[in-house]
Amino acid sequence: MSGANFVQLMLSGLAMSAIYALTATGLFVAHLATTRMNFGQGEFLMFAAYLSMALLLAGVPVLLVVAAVIVVLAMMGWGLERLAIRPLDRLRSLAGGQYSWVLTTMGVALILQNVVTLVWGKSSQYSPPLFSANRQNVVQFLGVGVFVEELLVIVVALVAILIFYAFLYRTRQGRAIYAVAFSPETASLLGIDVRRTVVLVFVMASVLAAISGVLVGPIVTVQPHMGLVFTVKAFAVASLGGFANPLGVLVGAIIFGVVESFSNYVNSAFGDLYPLLLVMALLVIKPSGLFGEAKTDVR
């Protein structure tokens, strides 16, 4: 492998890491506050990618596209909580046992995937680039030609993650999430509206899927089945980080994306499966992930 190859692979890996980090952070934040999450997180990303592609192709300016996709997905997150999560508390649903929410959120994902297929068709499509005139535009980076889109996806995702951290750690709503995560009862004694906070985390998870969806368009092919791939990988990433803190998720994403990039290079047929196998093996050896406390018990 040449040095140039190495840098390119690294960068491609990091671009995917950035997407995984955003998507997995969405799973993480919902799980943090509610111990539940959207098993259709990947389908939300897929839907955002299609929506963004359609708007870009219609000639809508990029910033407007981003804003529109975020607004639509935020509303979908709100709807998901109202439709597929909250009613289960009232019903104390017996059907799926304590994991009814896994099935309801997957049900929503199925519907979404079908709607996308009906609207945009089954075949893979190429989303227009966000940052440059051509998907294949290359700039010199560390003396190596790298794709502009990949480079900028990393930058934008990083900015988005930093904004998310700032929200989580620096605003009262963000701290309210930690209070609810610690104890919903204590949170309500501190004047925090727990129900609103729960809605908020699902909205945030969807917004993170929205950003990932917009960013992922130009670096992969967009197709209706991509959702499952991202759900599975985002969960693997969050498990790698142990669902313990957002930094663990970020480190997990970096490891996962880079390993995947190199294993794809080594074995183009099954390279994308190796990191998943590694994570599953890790879960057997260290059930709480790389950064989780030994007592972390994800139920």
Partner 1 sequence: MIVLEKVSAGIGRVQILRDVDIRVEPGKLVLVLGANGAGKTTLLRVISGIVPPWSGKLLFGSDSIAGRPAHELARLGLVHVPQGRQIIPTLSVEENLVIGASHLPGITKDAIERRLEQEYARFPVLKTRRSLAGGSLSGGEQQMLAISRGLMMAPKLLMLDEPSLGLAPQMVQRILGALSGLAKSGISILLVEQKTMALEIADQVHILKNGAIVHSAAAADVRDPQELFRHYMS
Partner 2 sequence: MSADKHASPWPRNGAYLAMATAIFAFPLLVGNTFHIHIAQTLLYTTIAVIGLNMLLGLSGQMSLGQAGFYAIGAYGSALLTAKLGWPIAAGMLAGILLAGLAGCLVGLIALRTRGLYLAMATLAFGFMTEIAAQRWVDLTGGTMGVYGIPALDFGSSKMGKTYFLWVVGAAYLAVQIASDYVMSSRIRRKLLALKENESAARTTGINVPVWRTMVFAVSSLLAGTAGVFFTHQNAYINSDAFTLGLTLTMLIATVIGGLGTSYGPLIGTLITLMIAELIASLYDVSFLVNGLILLSVLLLFPQGAIGLVQKVAGLFRGAAREGTPEVAQSGSFSAFAPGAAPASAGPTLVIESLSKSYGGVVAVSDVSLSVDRGTVHALIGPNGAGKSTLINCVSGLYRSDSGRIQLAGKDVSHLPAHARARMGLARTFQNLQLVNSLTVMENLQLGLRSTRSIPADFSSWLLSDAFEREERARALDILRQFGMAHLASAFPEDLPYGHRKLAELARAIAEEPIVMLLDEPVAGLNDREAQEISGVIRRIRDAGTSILLVEHNMDFVMQLADRVTVLDHGERIAQGAPAEVQKDPRVVEAYLGAPLEASSATPAEAVS
Smallest distance from partner 1 to CB 28, Å: 14
Among 6, 175, 274, 290, binds partner 1 (CB under 8 A): 175
Residue type, 181: A
Number of shown-chain residues binding partner 1 (CB under 8 A):
18
Quick one: what does residue 142 bind among partner 2, partner 1, none, with the CB cut-off 5 to 8 Å set by partner type? none
φ/ψ bin of 59: left (φ > 0), alpha (ψ from -120 to 50), beta (otherwise): left
Instruction: Work out whether 247 is an interface residue with partner 1 (CB under 8 A).
Output: no
Instruction: Work out whether 179 is an interface residue with partner 1 (CB under 8 A).
Output: yes
Residues whose CB is less than 8 angstroms from the CB of residue 299 and which lie 6 or more positions away in sequence, other chains included: 35, 98
Instruction: Work out whether 189 is an interface residue with partner 1 (CB under 8 A).
Output: yes
Instruction: Work out whether 192 is an interface residue with partner 1 (CB under 8 A).
Output: yes
Quick one: what does residue 157 bind among partner 1, partner 2, none, with the CB cut-off 5 to 8 Å set by partner type? none
In whole angstroms, give the CA distance from residue 172 to residue 159.
21
Place of tokens 């390119």: 8
In whole angstroms, give the CA distance from residue 133 to residue 56.
12
Q: Which is nearer to partner 1, 125 or 173 (CB)?
A: 173
In whole angstroms, give the CA distance from residue 224 to residue 220.
13
Footprint (CB under 8 A) of partner 1, residues 143-172: 172
What tokens appear for 263 in the block? Answer: 């294993």
Smallest distance from partner 1 to CB 181, Å: 8
Backbone phi, then psi, for 151, in 5-degree steps? -60, -45
Instruction: Work out whether 193 is an interface residue with partner 1 (CB under 8 A).
Output: yes
Binding site for partner 1 (CB under 8 A): 172, 175-176, 178-179, 181-183, 185-194
